[in-house]
Amino acid sequence: MSEKSEESDFTYQEILRQQAGWKKAIVHWHSQNDALKSIVDKFKDRIWVFSGCGTSYYLAQTASSLFELITGIRSLAVPASEVLTYPEIVFNPKSNYLFIPLSRSGTTTETVKAAEIARDLFDIPTFAISCNSQSAMSTQSQDRLEFPFETERSVVMTGSFTTMLLSIIYLAAVAANDTDLLSQLNSIPDASFALMTKNQSLIQKIAANRLSQEFVFLGQGPMLGIANEASLKMQEMTISVSHAFHALEYRHGPMSTATQNTLICILCCQPALRYEIPLVKDLKKLGANILVFHSHSNGRFSDFTDYEINIQDEFSDLLKPLLFMPLLQMLAYYRAKAKNINPDTPKNLSQVVELSL
């Protein structure tokens, strides 16, 4: 594959530029700290329901976990389609809610409708987060989280996912007055870009392995949403069989399908590490290829993995999703190129899903 062919792909360009976009967003938010904190204070006694479709739903999974861990505010993630079909399950009348619709374009039909149902039928305030602050979804919400964003031309979401995730982590850190986390956020763009460029050749090598025909991504807590999104990227860009599970759930049935043609990627986190180390050992015995993302330099994984990506220890577990995700996007991109598939035009997909509902 030539460097020129990579440079001509929108997807590749957008993966590489996302950290530069994070820097611009962080600078923008620095002047908004008081306003952001006031929004959270206004709704701190409510349950925060993060919602979206596809990638934005997996964003909701990771964002809701991180938001609750940082602020202590109860948070949930639900697909927008559940609000359309079973709103009474999502919104229990005994509780008070804030609905947070997530959408790159702000025009995804199910998400827009879900926000309308929350407001109009359940009298629930909405707080929109989108890369398009002028969309109807954003302007019709009581509050919205804005940031500068260069529009993506690719169908699949890359920088839009990570920038919206960054916005929610920043919001939570400001609300919690977590100065250490805010300091780490200021340095995360450069660290993420350095990690991505350092491991780019390794990612390309892994993606080019023709033996890998099935892909599995495993994660606990906030990493579940990242695992789901990594799996979706592999499906969208490479038209491959790909799955995601809670890491420890993989033992309970799904691992029966693991073979030498399976690449299993484990996204490690500190609270689950004591369980994930023996899991990795067991999975390697199945003959699968093992890729581990972790932040430990003591060689715990070296003897029973095929590939490792080691990130900086100085960053909190809360920021690992921002370090992992660009590399996982790159893995799907290079797998598509290895299969001679154009990642900019994935099969059967469009950039925005708009329906007549």
CATH number at residue 269: 3.40.50.10490
Label residue 2 by pLDDT band (50, 70, 90).
very low
Contacts by 23-30 with C-beta closer than 8 Å and gap 24+? 23/189, 24/147, 24/148, 25/147, 25/148, 25/149, 25/163, 25/166, 25/167, 25/170, 26/166, 26/170, 26/185, 26/186, 26/189, 28/146, 28/147, 28/148, 29/147, 29/167, 29/170, 29/174
Please give the pLDDT value at position 300: 73
Q: What pTM did the predictor assign? A: 0.94
Whether residue 33 is found in the same domain as residue 70: yes
Within this chain, do residues 224 and 277 fall inside the same structural domain, yes or no? yes
Which pLDDT belongs to residue 311? 87
Specify burial of residue 122 (Cβ count, 10 A radius: 0-12, 13-18, 19+).
middle
Q: Find out whether 60 and 52 touch, Cβ atoms under 8 Å.
A: yes
Percent pLDDT > 70 in the chain is: 94
Residue 343 lies in a domain: no
- 118 CB burial (10 A radius; 0-12, 13-18, 19+): buried
pLDDT of 354 strictly over 70: no
- What is the predicted pLDDT for the residue at 298? 52
Residue at a domain's end among 164, 186, 208: 186
Query: Span 234-250, mean pLDDT?
Result: 96
Residues 222 and 117 in one domain: no
Q: Do 154 and 220 fall within a single domain?
A: no
Arithmetic mean of pLDDT, 58-68: 99
Residues 142 and 219 in one domain: no
| pLDDT higher than threshold 90 for residue 314 | no
pLDDT at residue 349, rounded to an integer:
57
Compute the average pLDDT of residues 325-350.
88
Q: In this structure, are residues 34 and 174 in contact, taking their beta carbons and an 8 Å threshold?
A: no
Res. 136 pLDDT band, cuts 50 70 90: confident
SS3 266: strand
Q: Are residues 39 and 159 in the same domain?
A: yes
- Pair (165, 204) in one structural domain: no
Whether 205 and 300 map to the same domain: the answer is yes
Determine the pLDDT at residue 356. Answer: 61
Which amino acid is residue 248, in one-letter code? Answer: L
For the cut 90, the answer to whether the pLDDT of residue 115 exceeds it is yes
Q: How far is 188 from 330, CA to CA, in rounded Å?
A: 18
What is the C-alpha separation between 35 and 103, in angstroms, rounded? Answer: 22
On the question of pLDDT at 132 being above 60, the answer is yes
**Are 30 and 179 found together in one domain?**
yes
pLDDT reading at 227 higher than 50: yes
| DSSP string for 33-94 | HHHHHHHHHHTTTSEEEEEESTHHHHHHHHHHHHHHHHH---EEEEEHHHHHH-HHHHS-TT
Query: Could you tell me if 248 and 178 lie in one domain?
Result: no
- 7 has pLDDT over 70: no
Q: Compute the distance between CA of residue 4 and CA of residue 9 in angstroms, rounded to an integer.
A: 9
CA pair distance 330, 265, nearest whole angstrom: 14
| Three-class SS state of 106 | coil
pLDDT at 318: 96
CA angle 37, 41, 46 (to 5 degrees): 135
In this predicted structure, the answer to whether residue 173 has a pLDDT above a threshold of 80 is yes
Strand order in the sheet with 127-130: 75-79, 47-52, 97-103, 127-130, 143-145
Q: Are 221 and 305 members of one domain?
A: yes
Model pLDDT, residue 144: 96
What is the residue range of 244's domain?
Answer: 199-338
- Considering only CA atoms, which of 332, 331, 328 is closest in space to residue 346? 332
pLDDT for 187 equals: 96
Q: Given this model, what pLDDT does residue 284 score? A: 92
- Of 348, 4, 18, 6, nearest in space to 203 by CA: 6
Q: Is 351 a member of any domain?
A: no
* Short-list 79, 98, 171, 82, CA closest to 141: 98
Domain check: are 259 and 162 in the same one? no
CA distances to 4, 124, 193, 249, 327 from 198, rounded to whole Å, are 20, 46, 8, 31, 10
